[in-house]
Chains A and B, each alone.
Chain A
């Protein structure tokens, strides 16, 4: 279980997280939605320890994670924009990450799933955006972790890979894993989420199931419900 209390973060003059509080129970897929610049990525990076919060606490299973690093052994993270060292080939990159993390890896299965075999010996700088995103997904899912953080996993993916990603997420979910996803594609969120967290202006404005948000706003789809929430929160 993740518990975030009173999280504050400002970058210069910009206050990104404003006393954000959030509790996420173990197991299930949680979609973090919100407009650009609402603090979704900062929230995820704070959980990972990449962003150092100004104030507040983050605990995972009762233990504070701030300034720690060993807890990341049980987290898989998919960064928003995948840039890799261009000199390496896909195989070398996978080997390197495996070498750095002494956990059992299921990369052959993942490489097959995302059909990356033809690209294995290509340099990463020569890959297209979508292919890079698949490499990104392989690196994320090759280790089994209890907590999976995905920042815009659908970016640049072709329909077939998107289907595979959905299946993969369902499989992880059935194993009792906690999966936190940020996305801009509402239909994707609607389909996969057990719970929706709506972030606006550095605060949580809604937390609940898809049906709950639809009932609350009186809308038929998640997309219109989020739009209604956005409109009602504007002064």
Chain B
């Protein structure tokens, strides 16, 4: 299959560059430092959660947009070969997202394994954290590719991408909080639920907090989620919503590619 060949080349091309190791080293040191400081697997996981749900989207966005633009000429070379354009772009997309996910899994996996993860009950929480981090990488790389496909101007494209990350990571929560305060007198459970579904970062936070079952940290939406669905269905729902979050931008890439000029 040609798509696997392209995936392989993108993957190896990325793994040869320095940032790939920097990203891996960052997670390695983060993992060791957290475990050393906390001396407690579960606590370390909560701290990691806060880092991962902000950092994986940022790195996914920045590298997604940079990789698409910087490999434009390489893409052109591939486009002259008898290969379908969707195969080329999706091969690169999978190569980048996988490379990011592998850095995350290996970088955090080593310190946690060394600490004795397998002897702990926290192993499933940890696994879920890695799944969410990987999913967020796939989602934000796809979103970044969408922006890159629509914007020919690289500087503008980069700006939009950063703005998108800022929106989901910071601005969205602010708006959400304000609306909760303003509409305090109304029943806004349903609104809160839908608003959470519409942000993959919030969704990830709720999902892992439900798994960890720390109601004090869950906040308003977490509580709403639990009340509406119970932990089991709530988790399935939010995980499903994350997968939808991944599929929608991927389908839009496909649609954009039909008309794209290279």
Chain A contact residues, CB within 8 Å of chain B: 11, 45, 48-52, 67, 69-73, 75, 77, 79, 81-85, 87-88, 96-97, 99-101, 139
Contacts and interface: CB of A to CB of B under 8 A. Distances in A.
Nearest to A139: B77
Interface in B68-125: 71, 73-74, 76-85
B262 A100 contact: no
A86 B73 CA distance: 11
Contacts of A11: 261
Nearest to A73: B82
Given A77-B80, A101-B82, A87 B262 contact: no
Contact of B261 (A52, A72, A79, A97): A52
B37 interface: no
B23 interface: no
Contact of B259 (A48, A52, A75, A85): A52
B80 A87 contact: no
B17 A75 contact: no
B172 to A, nearest CB: 32
Contacts, number: 62
Interface in B1-59: 2, 5-6, 9, 13, 16-17
Q: Which 6 A-B pairs have the closest CB atoms?
A: A83-B73, A73-B82, A77-B80, A72-B82, A50-B262, A51-B261
21 contacts: A45-B261, A48-B80, A49-B79, A50-B261, A69-B85, A72-B81, A72-B82, A72-B83, A75-B80, A79-B73, A79-B76, A83-B73, A83-B74, A84-B73, A84-B77, A85-B74, A87-B16, A96-B9, A100-B2, A100-B6, A101-B82
> By CB atoms of chain B within 10 A, which of A73, A81, A85 has the most?
A85
Given A50-B261, A72-B82, A81 B73 contact: yes
Nearest to B72: A83
B142 to A, nearest CB: 22
Contacts of A79: 73, 76-77, 80
B101 to A, nearest CB: 20
Contact of B84 (A48, A69, A87, A100): A69
A70 B76 contact: no
A52 B260 CA distance: 7
Interface residues of B, number: 25
B181 interface: no
Contacts of A69: 82-85
B258 interface: yes
Given A87-B13, A96-B9, A99-B5, A50 B83 contact: no
Contacts of A51: 261-262
B18 to A, nearest CB: 10
Given A11-B261, A50-B262, A52-B259, A100 B80 contact: no
A57 to B, nearest CB: 17
B5 to A, nearest CB: 6
Given A45-B262, A51-B261, A52-B260, A84 B74 contact: yes
Contacts of B5: 99-100
> By CB atoms of chain A within 10 A, which of B73, B81, B83, B258 has the most?
B81
Nearest to B71: A85
Contacts of B73: 79, 81-84
Contacts of A81: 73
A51 B13 CA distance: 26
A50 B79 contact: yes
A82 B16 CA distance: 21
Contacts of A85: 13, 71, 74
A100 B81 contact: yes
A69 B77 CA distance: 14
A209 to B, nearest CB: 29
B69 to A, nearest CB: 12
A50 B16 CA distance: 29
> By CB atoms of chain A within 10 A, which of B13, B16, B259 has the most?
B13
B92 to A, nearest CB: 11
Contacts of A52: 258-261
A99 B85 CA distance: 17
A85 B260 CA distance: 22
A9 to B, nearest CB: 8
Contacts of B260: 52
B82 A50 contact: no
Contacts of B6: 100
A88 B14 CA distance: 11
A88 B80 contact: no
